Amino acid sequence: MKLIRLLILAAAVFAAGCCCGRTEKVIDSKTSFAREALQEFIDSGELPGVISVFYKDGVQETACLGWADVDKKIPMTMDKMFMQCSQTKGFCGVTIAILVEEGKLSLDDPVAKYLPEFKNLKVIDKDKNGKRIVRKAKNVLTVRMVMNHTGGFPFEIPSKVKKGWAKVSLKDTVREAASLPLRFEPGTRAQYSNTGIDIGAAVTEVITGKPWDVFLKERVLDPLEMKDTTFQPTEEQLARSIQMYDVKGGTKAKYKAFNRWMPLPHNGPTVFPSAGAGLWTTAADQLKFYKMLMNLGVGVNGKRILKAETVKNLLMKSTRPAGLGNYSLGLTTPANGWIGHGGAWGTSCSVNWQKRQLRLWVVQYNGKYPYPWSRKWGYANDKFFAQKVNTAEGDAYTGRLK
């Protein structure tokens, strides 16, 4: 009888080690730090609407304030669709990390190994008299460089400057980028570039034999149950999107139909996946992605996307040469332990896996930083993370096996 019990116990332990664990249990913090800091700007009309989430060790403060559509008085909620713009880069970084983990790709592989268009790159330079010249590149362009913005590419290729992020396919982006001279010798400087990230996505297409957005959906979005994250929002999804506004401190926000970087229409045959910017999502979905990073590769539903070591040693550490700032694969990696990214319309999310903390900010506006509410939201952030939380109700994160 004792032997049977031991066998049952051993089987249970083995099963626990093989699976990813329980689903996440979130405890409502009962605090209102964000609301107290931001409500005055909502009431004045300066800030049309915002979603703020603070998370600490299983305890979460969620504030949905103001309006997704001011004129129609549609409240801001966690299921409202929005453009996350450059936060798309982190999703590309995860797909690259998956291929590295599986041994199908090395970050130091030449890009030309997968995309022959980049074999004979040219670089803009100056001769001894200071005259602009174009010469052959000396350094080999690697996957690491295109993913951490040290490849020498401009922010966008001319076609996307003219048409917008989602109006040029990855193949056409690669073709145009390869035909233009680089801004500097690969690996010697940092220049923030959507183009480089798009090239990284194109590399995954060659390796997997699938369109990048399909690979992303199969390996990241579907396993994490991110049902509202897409490059092709349906009409139903667009109907519940957060409207865009021009904002300026001291005046009421003004409705803006669209931004030229994401022109209409937002779906259909003229819309292509862009890894540098262009992925639509919701706050509820975005939390699933960033909590997966904070939980070292395990989603809130218990599904593992990446090994813990891959997240810690690849996504969370800078891949740039010393002196060129901190950036990994589509994610910022400041020295304070937080990683994440922001988007052009004001969105941002960052996590700290060691402290088990997360902060998310969702808006859709155009304007010039700093905004008057930024400082007060920062104070709210400080208050939330300074408090002691009670996590006695359960182990909030899945799969945190030692």
Model pLDDT for residues 75-119, shown as the tens digit of each residue: 999 999 999 999 999 999 999 999 999 999 999 999 999 999 999
pTM > 0.85: yes
pLDDT on residue 363: 97
> Given a cut of 70, is residue 18 above it in pLDDT?
no
**What range does the domain containing 319 cover?**
25-386
Indicate the average pLDDT of the chain.
Answer: 91
pLDDT on residue 22: 59
User: What would the mean pLDDT of 43-67 be, rounded to a whole number?
Assistant: 97
User: What would the mean pLDDT of 264-279 be, rounded to a whole number?
Assistant: 95
Helix (H/G/I), strand (E/B), else coil: 174: helix
pLDDT on residue 6: 41
Location of structure tokens 């996957």: 143
Give the CATH number, domain containing residue 82: 3.40.710.10
Counted domains in the chain: 1
| φ and ψ of 12, to 5 deg | -65, -40
Max mean pLDDT among 11-15, 17-21, 265-269 falls in 265-269
Handedness of CA 168, 169, 175, 181 (dihedral sign): positive
Answer whether residue 289 is part of any domain.
Answer: yes
C-alpha 25/C-alpha 28 separation (Å) is 10
Look at 193-197, 267-271, 325-329, 332-336 and tell me which has the smallest mean pLDDT.
332-336
> Given a cut of 70, is residue 10 above it in pLDDT?
no
| H/E stretch holding 122 | strand 122-126
Answer whether residue 369 is part of any domain.
Answer: yes
Extract the tokens encoding 126.
């100056």
Answer whether residue 54 is part of any domain.
Answer: yes
Instruction: Please name the residues in contact with 327: beta carbons below 8 A apart, sequence gap of 6 or more.
Output: 148, 149, 190, 318, 319, 320, 333
Answer whether residue 212 is part of any domain.
Answer: yes
String of DSSP letters for 12-37: HHHHHHHS--PPP-PEE----HHHHH
pLDDT on residue 392: 55
- Residues 350-395 have pLDDT tens digits of 999 999 999 999 999 998 888 999 999 999 999 999 998 765 544 4
> Given a cut of 80, is residue 15 above it in pLDDT?
no
pLDDT on residue 112: 98
- Residues 153-212 have pLDDT tens digits of 999 999 999 999 999 999 999 999 999 999 999 999 999 999 999 999 999 999 999 999
C-alpha 304/C-alpha 398 separation (Å) is 10
C-alpha 197/C-alpha 208 separation (Å) is 17
pLDDT on residue 16: 36
Helix (H/G/I), strand (E/B), else coil: 11: helix
Answer whether residue 17 is part of any domain.
Answer: no
- Residues 214-267 have pLDDT tens digits of 999 999 999 999 999 999 999 999 999 999 999 998 999 999 999 999 999 999
